[in-house]
Amino acid sequence: MGATRARWSRLAVHPTRGVVSGFALAIVLGTALLTLPAATAPGRDTSTLTALFTAAGALSGGLSIVGTGSHWSPFGEGVVLALIQIGGFGIMTLASLLALLVSGRLRLRTQLTTQAETETSGLGVGGIRRVLLGIAGTTLAVELATAAVLALRFRFGHGLTVADAVHHGIFYGISAFNNAGFALRDDNLVGYAHDPWILLPIALACMLGALGFPVLLELLRSHKAQGGGTGRWSLHTRLTLVTSALLLAAGTVMTCCLEWSNAATLGPMSSGDKVLNGFFTAASARTAGFSTVDTGAMEPATLLGICVLMFIGGASAGTAGGIKVTTFAVLAAAILAEIRGHAEADIMGRRVSGATLRQALTVALLGVGLVILGTLVLLAVTGLPTGAVLFEAVSAFGTVGLSTGITADLPAAGQLTIVVLMFIGRVGPITLASALALRQRDRRYTLPEERPVIG
């Protein structure tokens, strides 16, 4: 009893442990379900490693080594879809919402773990009920709207039956908003590369999911209160929107310029389709991992640019991975302040605290370290070209799901490395570090200051 009570006490001090253990448990459960014979399509075999990789990829919104529509039975496909939804919505968020619906109230520890996952601690524990209901309503609204548009297009634009059209619409609606990148075709979305009625709704759902629930909820509240005004938006919301828009524009221009004449990607397309697919690639590279062209055939410069987009990722408390756009923006502000000779960094008329800068630097460096370590391990066990291995490692850490085509051919050790990177990328370096910390240490003294030589 004493040991159990001590464990719960540590969870209360570090509520993020519940997030990490919840995701780990969900991966184990998903793996067990996918190894059942009923989960595999007739004529297919599923190893434990394949089930584990798929469960981790679906929950984190990352890579896959088998075709979703061809390898899994309807039951297995349902398990994959459930994992995608759970991963995007959040383990503790989902558990808290269920507890709220069943009992009508939340325990303090449950509220703390939910706040750690949704990054809404500034609202206070009393506001978590409103946040949960807002997240659930937003998720359902975006997924249903996307599914409806896609189902109509699949039915009348591609000749699918009503049942298949609804099935495809729902699957892609959930996969897009949760930034999973899982598709029902083995070629992902290559077959729809010329259809804006398929690509644009999916891209929009991906971008909305990547903005993060705090931003979406604030936009909805401000729209209702001010008729769409922006005067009272928080710095986080403004920074997320501006940085996301700049990265989307830069990614679109980069992809179009570098791939415009590439005969294996955008080259054979019309000018309109080139711009459409360049935009879709830029939107998907930071978030979802859907692909409309052969990623492995892209120019090396494009792949490097996509690596940068994947590493940055989406917004905090969203369905995308990466170090987050606000982290990138804060670091950029710090660099600009140092270049200008300013003692403090500022963004949009607001001063950035030292604690925020240290947190951003920690997240970024941990991300770089994990990607480098993962790349070294993959190089050691595969012997593949560095560029392809680096792309795979960044995609796994950023929970994007794009691949140059080497994932399925990796040895077991390489695929397990990808699974670890996807898991860490989903729960976040800071969340994982906090969960592993045994206790908080408050230093009660200050050391003398001395400045080492930099540069």
**452/298 Cα distance (integer angstroms):** 43
Longest dimension (CA), the chain: 74
Cα distances from 83 to residues 87, 133, 180, 182, 455, in angstroms, run: 6, 20, 10, 11, 46
The token pair at 151 is 């189902």
Q: What is the domain partition of the chain in residue ranges?
A: 12-435
195 CB-contact burial (10 Å; exposed 0-12 / middle 13-18 / buried 19+): middle
Give residue 247's pLDDT band: very low, low, confident or very high (50, 70, 90): very high
What's the 3-state SS for 339-388? Answer: HHCCCCCEECCEECCHHHHHHHHHHHHHHHHHHHHHHHHHHHHHCCCHHH
* Better-predicted residue by pLDDT, 370 or 429: 370
Q: What is the pLDDT of residue 254?
A: 97
| Other Cβ atoms closer than 10 A to 378 | 27
Higher-scoring residue by pLDDT: 104, 419: 419
Query: Residue 443 above 80 pLDDT?
Result: no
Instruction: Let me know: does 302 contact 259? Beta carbons within 8 Å.
Output: yes
Least confident of 69-78, 86-95, 240-249, 335-344: 86-95
Q: For residue range 317-348, list pLDDT tens digits in order.
A: 777 788 889 999 999 999 999 898 888 888 98
Q: Is the pLDDT of residue 100 over 50?
A: no
pLDDT at position 203 over 90:
yes
